[in-house]
Chain A
Amino acid sequence: MIRIEGLSKSYGDLPVLRNCSLEVGRGEVVVICGPSGSGKSTFVKCMNGIEPVQAGRITIDGEVLPSKPAAAARIRSRVGMVFQHFELYPHLTVMENICLAQIHVLKRGRGEAEAKARALLRRVGLADKESAYPTQLSGGQQQRIAIVRALAMDPIAMLFDEPTSALDPEMIGEVLAVMLELAREGMTMIVVTHEMGFAKAAAGRIVFMDHGEIVEVAETQHFFAQPSSERARLFLSRILAH
């Protein structure tokens, strides 16, 4: 479904990704974890080409992501993305947020787009918020709507970049619940997160990154029971200590 080969990226002399490769199959849920600054956010943003890379090849559903951004737009529209800071459009209502790309990228009619939006809003329990503006909503509500906005495009896969790390603790659960449900329905998901509870419950495999490298890729149970690398062991002991 998504194949990443030899991805490398640097800011000037500072390498942020070193020769990263990963293959994610249809319906698979992969969690990427690692210490902050390990390059995992950059890695996930490179997967749909919104961050340019110096070297490497990304294939999505059999199509190679072109290096020209304009040509990549069509492929990008097939992969949903959820951001740490939600990034809902503040000048638009919830309904307009969800319909914008449906109408302008997928060329759907307004009626069809709104019907799609309403059905998805019901699923995440926010049917009553369609005419609200993002600033009138809590962080947890905004992130659920950001997920709906991505799902409305009928994506073949979803990328999550630390979707809960900007949320107050009491709101993390409602977002994770939506993500868990998606995982159970068989959505292909790549999730950068520190939520090890979610990883244990939903992920098939764990990717551990450090210093811009993929240090370890392991089955979830294996990873938590006995990680093969020393760095992953150290990371887990720190993150699971509290």
Chain B
Amino acid sequence: MSGFDISVILHALPFLAKGLGLSLALTAVAMIGGLALGLVIAVIRLSRFRFPAMLAALYVNGFRAVPLILVIFWFYFLVPLLLGRPVGALYSVLIAFVMFEGAYYSEIIRAGLKSVRPGQWQAAQASGMTYLQTIRLVVLPQALRKMAPLMVTQGVVLFQDTSLVYVVSLHDFMTSASIVANTQNRIVELYVFAAFVYFAICTTGSVLAQRLSSGRRHAY
């Protein structure tokens, strides 16, 4: 093992790309699913229905109190038990990520909705809008501008967290890099390359988040 052999990376590129594809796909599904679930949870928590709001709070605090890796394990073993048949590692991981991210996104969305002045809620309600119309037409569009940077930041964290799926034997980007590193005995090359890819993707996300938040200052 001498010198920095870049050819080993080039040879392994299709395999690594497949791993990266899984990481990105997981991130995308967890983000979209998590946002949708988070929105529903946030709206329930802010509603005047005490009991559902309490359940939603329990959900959020529960998921935020356990590490993601535990949630992944949990769904890997629990979902097949509930359904009575195996669902496969990929689906159980997708469910775990969406449920977990939903808890975090709901907090971002809830804070965003609450940041809109009470007078805006009152004005919308005074004009005869229902609770859901008020949220959809008046509050959410204003809150979204404030939430966008935090959502992107959460997405970056989420992308990094996809490396945890190795525990259920799925090959995400990190796991793939690690497999190549060990089988080819080229640890330095592969881990430098992996670091570079993570750095490039996450920095892009962070820059996007910063753009979004500095753009806000001039909005209103």
Where the two chains meet, the residues of A that have a C-beta atom closer than 8 Å to any C-beta of B are: 45, 48, 50, 69-70, 73-74, 76-81, 83, 85, 87-91, 100-101, 104-106, 133, 135, 149-150, 153
Is B142's CB within 8 Å of the partner chain A? yes
Pick the contact of B119 from A79, A87, A105 — CB < 8 Å? A87
With CB as the reference atom, state the residue of chain B lying closest to A49.
B125
A98 shortest CB reach to chain B, Å: 11
Q: Mark B120-132, 1 if CB is under 8 A from A, else 0.
A: 1011111111110
Q: Which residues of B contact A50 (CB under 8 A)?
A: 122, 125-126
B113 to chain A, nearest CB (A): 14
Instruction: List B98-157 residues whose CB lies under 8 Å from chain A.
Output: 117, 119-120, 122-131, 133, 137-138, 141-142, 145
Most chain A CB neighbours (cut-off 10 Å) among B125, B126, B129, B133? B126
Do residues B48 and A87 form an inter-chain contact, with CB atoms below 8 A? no
State in angstroms the CA–CA spacing of A70 and B138 once bound together: 17
Residue in B119, B125, B128, B130 whose beta carbon sits within 8 Å of that of A153 in the complex: B128
Q: Please give, as numbers and ranges, the residues of chain A lying within 8 Å of B129 by CB-CB distance.
A: 73, 101, 104-105
Q: Which residues of B contact A149 (CB under 8 A)?
A: 127
A87/B120 in contact, CB under 8 A: yes
**Given A85-B119, A90-B220 in contact, is the A104-B126 Cβ separation under 8 Å?**
no
Of the A-B pairs whose beta carbons lie under 8 Å apart in the complex, a sample of 9, sorted by A's number, is A76-B125, A81-B122, A83-B122, A89-B142, A100-B127, A104-B133, A105-B128, A106-B128, A135-B220
CA distance A106 to B133 in the complex (A): 13
Q: Verify B220–A83 contact, CB threshold 8 A.
A: no
The majority secondary structure among interface residues of chain B is helix
Which chain A residue lies CB-closest to B133?
A104
B137 near A76: Cβ-Cβ < 8 Å:
no
Q: Tell me the residues in window 18-77 of chain B with beta carbons closer than 8 Å to chain A beta carbons.
A: 48
A87-B119, A90-B220 given. 19 additional CB < 8 A pairs? A45-B122, A48-B126, A70-B130, A73-B125, A80-B126, A81-B127, A83-B123, A85-B119, A87-B122, A89-B120, A89-B142, A91-B141, A91-B220, A100-B137, A101-B129, A105-B128, A106-B128, A135-B220, A153-B127
Chain B residue nearest to A103 (CB atoms) is: B137
In the complex, what residues of A have CB within 8 A of residue B122's CB? 45, 50, 81, 83, 87
Task: Indicate if the CB atoms of B48 and A69 lie closer than 8 Å.
Answer: yes
The CA of A90 and the CA of B129, in the complex, are separated in Å by 17
Q: Which residues of B contact A100 (CB under 8 A)?
A: 127, 137-138
The answer to whether B128 and A101 touch across the interface, beta carbons within 8 angstroms, is yes
Residues of B within 8 A of A101 (CB): 124, 127-129
